Structure 1
Amino acid sequence: MDNLTSLMNSPGLWFVSSLMVIVVLLQAFLFLQSAWQEGKKIGFPKGKMLKSIRAAAITAIGPSLSPVIILIALIAVLGVPTAWMRMNDIGASRTELAVSTIVAEFVGAVPGGEGWNETAFSYALWGMAVNNFMWMFVTLLFAGKMSRILTKVNSRYDPKLTKLVMDGAALGLFGTLLSGQVVSQPSGNVLAAAFAAITMFVIIKFLAPKIPSVREPALGIAMLVGMFAATAFVYSL
């Protein structure tokens, strides 16, 4: 395990992870520069542009809480540099956890648990990289056609049915991953999952319609509630 920890936090991984983060920062700078130039072209006042940037930065604090919380969970599984890079690159924490879990199962390992060694870690890295590549590849090929395809599907079928099918696929994927952590597992795992699910339901069903911005940190909040509830239960025994 010590060898794996050293590998996950090695200088080499810090170096290659930093390259990706630098690219993301460069992209952000180019987008901001382009937006600023376009604002000047249309005569947008400089004061209002600065105010918009400041408002956007402040607004981003809330949605950033969820990735930070999940970053801590990813660090325990993938190490600091990989978790840092993946959250800056993709930001889709659920996908990162799902892909690393699915790929690790191919070699009979559980991320951060039994069988989690250098081989399983390398498989997880490859799985996340290929998943990332397919996102970009599909976007490159079909981004311009997606709206037409979706319009065609919705014209042939009930749009509500289409949305239910897509939501059902996501629920099936993450439900399968969750079941492996609660079936035949200690009661603390079950309690954490139950409280997290209830919290997520309350946020999405009752709070999000009134406060849309709460959708972003919903996952992080649900994880915290589940962890604290399970910890309180286990230590109260």
Structure 2
Amino acid sequence: MVLDLMLIALAITLYPLPLMAFALVVSTARGVWKGLVFILAWLACLVAVIAVVLAVTDGQPPPPRSPPGVAGLAAKLAIGVGLVFYGLHRRRLMRAGAAPGDASAADASAGQVPEVRGGPSGGATGEGTGESAGDRGEGSFWASAGLAVLVQPWGMVAAGATTVLEANTSQPATFVALFGFCLLASASLLAAELYIVFAPEVAQARLLRLRGWLKEHAQQAIVVLCLVLGLWLTAKSLYQLTS
């Protein structure tokens, strides 16, 4: 379980779209606080998924070969196959030349949500409505939280949920593994937030440059992450189902 969780968490933290959205959020007025809201909403999603799974299993893994255990492995297999097909689909679009102009819904939202956009000087604008940053502060924080939920790679989070089915909460090491999963899955965002806190001006400029670089290479990263994780989950699930 631990190895699977760490691999899934690594894929989540390397997934480019959340970091691209986060870089946009922290580049606006009060970006540090909006970034914190983004991270808290992101973590809340992960914790909520884990809590739901543990509530369903009562903190005990299903017995081997039992219907719940087989159903969990079948779900993980389906997710793995889905990730492989999604990665192949992205690769086919990229090779056809369609992927660079095919912005995902999450990336489009990150670039078009008016509440989290800023003006050329980094201050929040009303997008032509004349609103000040103070008038729109509350909405901006809610938009940051909603964006964090939107750009979650939910397929990978679902893979993590099927892995948490194997968690045994009677063992203290399980809580360490679950905490490590949440920490690693959020590592890139946490590192960017700390960078913003300690070097705001330099960090904002570099994060925006990073966002531009990621926008050019996001498709390749998504293809690699989906194929590698999908193949691992598929092979592991097939082995467990047939052994």
Task: Calculate the TM-score normalised by the size of structure 1.
Answer: 0.27
Structure 1 or 2, whichever has the larger Rg, is 1
Compare the two structures and name the one with the higher helix fraction: 1
